[in-house]
Structure 1
């Protein structure tokens, strides 16, 4: 196999991107370069040059490059290149330039359908509001095919602002927060004796399917857990605190006390930010996921934490999240049996509107 053609200098490449983007597409898809690996710095450079242009021609060439990669999966680097094209187009391109690429109905046997589904929902995540043709028709086509991404909305709620911010922060990782850092940023809760009593009286209510969905964003981290509890009577919101949580008997909180577990008030939009970053980063040793699938995993996990059926509309779920009470948790360093206390410790608890059901979710990672 001959060596791939050497790329022109950067100045020439920029000129080609503006005046002859087809030349960049040919360079990126050259057989010798494809045989070596699609996901190499020189190909990524060509992707970014194409997506950095605002012309229809450059956008078309970038889309064709993503489709080319989709057809070659599972060739080395093909899936990563496809997702890189999706991410760059989602950030830089306009729905106007991408509109022609959604005018053909999706087909289950066409690998390009997967590329376009990811691109459609990368645009939606970016808050583009894809509420007109042909985007809605393409989404309906995906729904008829049973494509998992078709469950997601084509709009990005303001509620997802932390997801949008963190989705476009390359290399963003979960980070551990000490109790002191937690209380410096969030309103603290104080432990109460009545909270501890309510925790001891709670009933553990295992739900394997709900647990699986709730922790899915943390799948690549070293350790994760989600558990659900039912209280014998409605809880006074003032008793939703570390004393209650450490008395529940949750696996992730084993070995912690009301004094070594910090708990502070937060909101669900904060929770989904951590869920998304965990899925997107893959942790220290795991693999990241495409942005659209990170968003899917995040939404599904949110529904699981609140005990909602997936048939509930997303807007209703946002309103329901506001009716729940949320706590962000931070264990004192090197305490408890679950957390590594190293690179990434994150944990939350949620109390439902009836004040009788509590969910606890936690994850930890280390190198």
Structure 2
């Protein structure tokens, strides 16, 4: 923006020029609509120019943040922290940027540098405490040992949602995939395809027929099961079937296409359908990738919040309530039998990422399903 344009938006001392509401009211009472029309046009022009300037400056600041996070070294991190503090003071909450800053710092900076900068001293500012919370879980999932770097611990703030998570990486949290960031952008991709091992595809054509089981999912169960995909992918649905007699794990592959679910509603007996038995760690990794990376419509929640959403979906698939502890979720999840499936149905579009997860309870009396697609 040139100097003349800037002067049009400000008074002589550089401050924004505000209208006199009392003066505008007097013109309105006098029926002087021509004055109000001129005033409105002038304000609209100023607002458009200010919005454009804010976008330009915002783009420049976003580039500087990415540049500092991707430039290794203590000086870069300290300058980033100073910049974040100045932006917080000048423009208000930086909360939306902090999860991204945390994941980029964890990718490009060493744990030693972060322990001496981000985690050094007392965090008096809310934004810095939030950055620490997110960064702690990002580093934990990347293998940092809190016992070796005690300064990485964000403290015991039990009121915060992330405090629900284990403060150590658990055995079921295997091979987490992260979005890859550079100064110019990012790239990611959820590996939703079925593996070659553990395949249990039933022979085709499959026997026709419909299962007598009926969906009995509650609102709370549904909302918890779809947590990892909700607002991160195009669409997700959940179903819960409760049986009078135990369902054997060997029955699940043939049973799923017969259930009254949208994801297999139009699946013919010879249509493509593939399913594999998978360990709970593989299921967690799939949920984590969905939540942390997002899809075509969304960039996801990154590592810390993605970790929380993956655990929440796991809890829902196991039939545990929202207030169950992470330890309870882990113990029960390890007892469940897990399946990963896809089908040539209208639900699974196959022009993006999509998958189905089935979870069979240890007693065989509860079968929960999450189906997610990255199209809407």
TM-score norm. by structure 1 comes to 0.73
Do the aligned residues in 1 keep the contact of 2:217 with 2:238 (CA within 8 Å)? no
The alignment status of 1:149 with 2:162, answered yes or no, reads yes
Do the aligned residues in 2 keep the contact of 1:70 with 1:115 (CA within 8 Å)? no
Q: Pick from 204, 217, 233: which aligns with 2:228?
A: 217
- Give the CA deviation at 1:156: 1.4
The alignment status of 1:360 with 2:369, answered yes or no, reads yes
- Give the CA deviation at 1:295: 1.0
Match of 1:339 in 2: 348
Quick one: distance in 2 between partners of 1:359 and 1:248? Answer: 11
Do the aligned residues in 2 keep the contact of 1:275 with 1:298 (CA within 8 Å)? yes
Change (3 A) 1:237 1:279: closer
Change (3 A) 1:267 1:2: farther
Aligned-partner SS, 2:312: helix
- Give the CA deviation at 1:265: 1.0
Match of 1:236 in 2: 248
Match of 2:306 in 1: 294
Match of 1:94 in 2: 111
Change (3 A) 1:355 1:94: same
Radius of gyration: which is bigger? 2
Quick one: distance in 2 between partners of 1:72 and 1:274? Answer: 39
Which residues in structure 2 correspond to 1:66-77 (within 5 Å)? 66-69=84-87
Aligned length: 319
- Give the CA deviation at 1:73: 6.2
- Give the CA deviation at 1:357: 0.4
Change (3 A) 1:122 1:70: farther
Change (3 A) 1:72 1:208: farther
Unaligned 5+ residue runs, structure 1?
A: 4-30
The alignment status of 1:174 with 2:186, answered yes or no, reads no
Match of 1:159 in 2: 172
Quick one: distance in 2 between partners of 1:73 and 1:273? Answer: 37
Do the aligned residues in 2 keep the contact of 1:175 with 1:345 (CA within 8 Å)? no
Change (3 A) 1:62 1:156: farther
Change (3 A) 1:280 1:186: same
Unaligned 5+ residue runs, structure 2?
A: 4-52
Q: RMSD value over aligned CA atoms?
A: 3.6
Quick one: distance in 2 between partners of 1:116 and 1:255? Answer: 48
Quick one: distance in 1 between partners of 2:64 and 2:122? Answer: 33
Match of 2:68 in 1: 46
- Give the CA deviation at 1:267: 1.7
Q: Pick from 262, 275, 280: which aligns with 1:251?
A: 262
Do the aligned residues in 2 keep the contact of 1:280 with 1:291 (CA within 8 Å)? yes
Quick one: distance in 1 between partners of 2:64 and 2:113? Answer: 28
Match of 2:274 in 1: 262
Match of 2:329 in 1: 317
TM-score norm. by structure 2 comes to 0.72
